[in-house]
A = this chain, B = another copy of it.
Amino acid sequence: MDTTKLPKMLYGGDYNPEQWDESIWPEDMRLIPLAGMNIATVNVFSWAMLQPNEDTYHFETLDRIMDMLHKNGIYACLATSTGAHPAWMARKYPEVLRTDFNGRQRKFGGRHNSCPNSPLYRSLSTQLAAKLAERYKDHPALLLWHVSNEYGGECYCDRCETAFREWLRAKYGTLDKLNEQWNTRFWGHTFYEWDEIVLPNALSEQWSSDRTCFQGISLDYTRFNSDSLLECYKLEYDAIKAQTPDLPVTTNLMGTFKGLDYFKWAKHMDIIAWDNYPSMDTPTSFTAMTHDLMRGLKSGAPFLLMEQTPSQQNWQAYNTLKRPGIMRLWSYQAVAHGSDSVMFFQLRRSVGACEKYHGALIEHVGHEHTRVFRECAQLGRELDSLDTKLLGSRLPSRIAIMYDWENRWAIEYSSGPTIDLKYVDEIHNYYRALYEQGHQVDIVSFEEDLSPYAIVLAPVMYMVKPGMAARIEAYVAAGGKFVTTFFSGIVNENDIVTLGGYPGELRGLLGIWAEEIDALFPGHHNRIVMKDSLGNLQGEYKCSILCDLIHSEGAEVLAEYGDDFYKGMPVLTRNRFGSGEAWYVASSPDADFLQGFLGALCDSSNIKPLPGKQPGVEVSLRSREGRSYLFVLNHNAAEVTVELGEFAGVDLITGTAVSGQVPLAGCDVLIIEQFA
């Protein structure tokens, strides 16, 4: 999807008028434009309304909604409603119901409730998508398609089991190959017939959602489940595209959600859209990282912020209000990281059921005289004034962090060495160290072309997929700087250990051998003792979680462990390889180490921080066709003075020229278009 062709920054959100008496609709049409909104996501959960029984479709209400939107100058992001099947379907065709991790067939209820391998669900959902596409393909309000909703969850029914065997047969070809890659000779699990394979759940190989006897089986099931849901998506996608080949189709993703391989999904999405629900105590760097991950799904293309709450959530334990200015600030944070929309769940707060205490543009009181509405309307005015300037602009970066869902699954299915290793946290540690220094980062897949980057970080690259080691070697040989860490290079794509010494296929590149991997108890740490200073990196730091006991095989040792029986063994190494450098960080260091280390690395690559960075202030740069837009976001409650250095331009929000030292109020934002 080419967002440069959008009429303006999209501003709006989920809107469910079919859940209300139509008498309220005119008031909605007064209020939504009053907030400056131009798009509504509709029809997200209307299957039961659209198809009251197998043989009847009823589109009249949706017709009226679409017409009403158009009449009021609001675009439609039209959903397909297949995120929850109707009750009649569950009753008539129990096959559409999922079977859960505990082997229980579910009854009707909730959402995300359809078995992805139910032929009936697949045909009925695809048919609905096709009918919607056919009916609304020429509707003037229609801007964008939204398939289903927040895909996720697992099914363990017999149909899925059969489909899993087919999926495996397609992957492995023979049982011999499968037995080898699952190492089924362990515990005598050799399969002689495909039908002997069962799904890994609480009744078979797993004793909790991430504890398994056979990592290979569970890993393949996770892939299969992601693929099964993707197949459902693709069926709807294809049905829509057959009718509206030129309209973009998407679905709303969920950031670091674990269950789906979003890089694989992204290939089948015309634009990335995602739902951002941080808690009040989520670090701003974590949200920033997640935006960057979503942007990375399509190699840096702008995305849509499809949902956020105007103020309050309902499903967290403690649903604090977003403080004044926070909604605006976080909305701009999304834009700063590549979003070409600001959208909410939802426009009118529901009157009953489990989301009635989730915030909305129009609260239960029903009028515009609320803090929330006022803040939304102010933002609407501002976004309107931005016009199309930012649309399609990208974030230039010379630093990439590699991220991979399969790698995460494998790490977190691992039995040993520690339960404390969380992939996303390790990624975030490296991300935050760059974020805190004002460096812009791309998050990229294991398949991404690395050549544009001066520095590539791959924290805990536990799984090395076929061809990856060679690609990374080529990248480094050509002058790149590559950093990886403890517990990397251990297994192949099926979680089979690469024999011959860790870090396996990366051993030659890194010039080290990891003999042992020590796991530290919570609260324990070792010390990183620098041998010499490296930029600002000097003296001692802490590290924890895992400590690789490594030997240099040619790599230069820059720091050693300071404690325990492996005191004096290397903990930070650099191996010169071709024209580049391959670094190894043998443990999980503290934040000070990472700031110092990555700062030094950036210095050595002559990568400069963005202007304006200071504690609590986030900076980001978007650019397009030679124009640059610097975002400065003050996450502090208090005013700060921003130091722009040589950067000067016009603040797009206020229209005033800014340069040098600029005061910025608490929670306030600058979007500075650089002077040409």
Contacts and interface: CB of A to CB of B under 8 A. Distances in A.
Interface in A453-504: 494-497, 499-502
Contacts of A191: 87
A501 B365 CA distance: 4
Interface stretch (A134-142, A287-295, A396-404, A511-519): A511-519
Contact of A319 (B198, B418, B522, B549): B418
B321 A516 contact: yes
A91 B193 contact: yes
Given A84-B188, A109-B200, A196-B91, A183 B352 contact: yes
A419 interface: yes
A312 B515 contact: no
B321 A518 contact: yes
Nearest to A214: B353
Nearest to A218: B354
Contacts of A354: 212-215, 415
Contact of A19 (B183, B314, B370): B183
A174 interface: no
Given A88-B192, A516-B311, A198 B418 contact: no
Interface string A545-572: 0000100000000000000110000000
Contacts of A52: 190, 192
Contacts of A513: 365
A111 B187 contact: yes
Given A104-B203, A352-B215, A352-B496, A419 B318 contact: yes
A103 interface: yes
B182 A353 contact: yes
Contacts of A205: 109-110
A313 interface: yes
Interface string A73-91: 0000000010010111011
Contacts of A108: 196, 198, 204
| Top-6 shortest CB links A-B | A183-B352, A314-B416, A109-B204, A357-B416, A365-B501, A87-B196
A515 B181 CA distance: 59
A56 to B, nearest CB: 10
Interface string A163-204: 000000000000000000111111111111101111110111
Nearest to A415: B354
Interface in A71-130: 81, 84, 86-88, 90-91, 102-111
A451 interface: no
A25 interface: no
Contacts of A366: 499-501
Contact of A86 (B88, B190, B564): B190
25 contacts: A19-B183, A52-B190, A52-B192, A87-B197, A91-B196, A104-B202, A105-B203, A106-B203, A106-B204, A108-B196, A109-B198, A109-B200, A109-B204, A110-B204, A110-B213, A186-B355, A315-B415, A319-B416, A320-B520, A357-B414, A357-B417, A364-B502, A365-B501, A365-B513, A365-B515
Interface in A11-60: 16, 18-19, 45-49, 52-53
A531 interface: no
Does more than half of chain A's interface fall in helix, strand or loop, or is it mixed?
A: loop
A189 B48 CA distance: 7
Given A183-B352, A184-B353, A370-B515, 18 more contacts: A45-B187, A45-B188, A48-B192, A88-B192, A186-B353, A212-B354, A213-B353, A214-B353, A215-B352, A312-B516, A318-B520, A321-B519, A352-B494, A352-B497, A357-B415, A357-B417, A366-B499, A366-B501
Q: How many monomers of this chain does the complex have?
A: 3
Given A186-B350, A319-B416, A371 B107 contact: no
Contact of A88 (B109, B181, B193, B518): B193
A196 B203 CA distance: 28
B352 A416 contact: no
A296 interface: no
A108 B217 CA distance: 12
A313 B364 contact: no
Contacts of A86: 188, 190
Nearest to A323: B565
A109 B203 contact: yes
A257 interface: no
A356 interface: yes
Nearest to A351: B497
B516 A372 contact: yes
A676 interface: no
A324 interface: yes
A521 interface: yes
A212 to B, nearest CB: 7
A574 interface: no
A358 interface: yes
B318 A522 contact: yes
A171 to B, nearest CB: 16
Contacts of A590: none
A148 to B, nearest CB: 12
Contact of A195 (B46, B91, B417): B91
